[in-house]
């Protein structure tokens, strides 16, 4: 499969791949850095969950900020927006928002992980 076909797969799955590639300068760099993001995501989500469970909103905010930035950089805008909402809520120490909307964050992250899994297999 060509790079163009792989990028079309991302676009069909709601990824703003053109912006992501522009952010990373070229498709090879995009792929390399996305692999790093992909490999780190499960552990990052465990850390986020740990801070949520303990009610540590300052550290939760730091990690969801990083998740937001990474997601937006690659064109995963849905995850980026949800992570942004969590970042703002956690900075306001709104534990209720974080708890009530945590499944949404987790589901969006798992969706991104699945998209990248399929993308890497193409």
CATH code, domain with 113: 1.20.120
pLDDT confidence of residue 87: 98
pLDDT one-digit tens code per residue, 25-35? 999 999 999 99
Domain tally, the chain: 1
Q: What is the domain range of residue 18? A: 3-121
The conformational region for residue 64 under phi > 0 = left, psi -120 to 50 = alpha, else beta, is: alpha
- CB 98, CB 60: distance < 8 Å: yes
Query: Per this entry, what is the length of the chain?
Result: 122
Looking at residues 73-86, what average pLDDT do you find? Answer: 98
pLDDT confidence of residue 59: 98
pLDDT one-digit tens code per residue, 34-65? 999 999 999 999 999 999 999 999 999 999 99
- How far apart, in whole angstroms, are the C-alpha atoms of residue 58 and residue 100? 18
The whole model's pTM is what?
0.96
């Amino acid at each position: 499969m060509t790079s163009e076909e792989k990028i079309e797969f991302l676009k069909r799955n709601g990824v703003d791949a053109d912006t992501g590639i522009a952010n990373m300068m070229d498709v090879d760099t995009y792929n390399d850095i996305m692999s790093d993001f992909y490999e780190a995501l499960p552990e990052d989500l465990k850390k986020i969950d740990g801070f949520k469970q303990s009610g540590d909103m300052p550290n939760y905010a730091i990690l969801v900020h990083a998740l937001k930035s990474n997601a937006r950089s690659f064109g995963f805008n849905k995850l980026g927006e949800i992570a942004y909402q969590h970042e703002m809520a956690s900075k306001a120490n709104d534990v209720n928002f974080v708890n009530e909307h945590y499944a949404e964050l987790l589901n969006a992250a798992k969706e991104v992980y699945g998209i990248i899994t399929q993308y890497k297999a193409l």
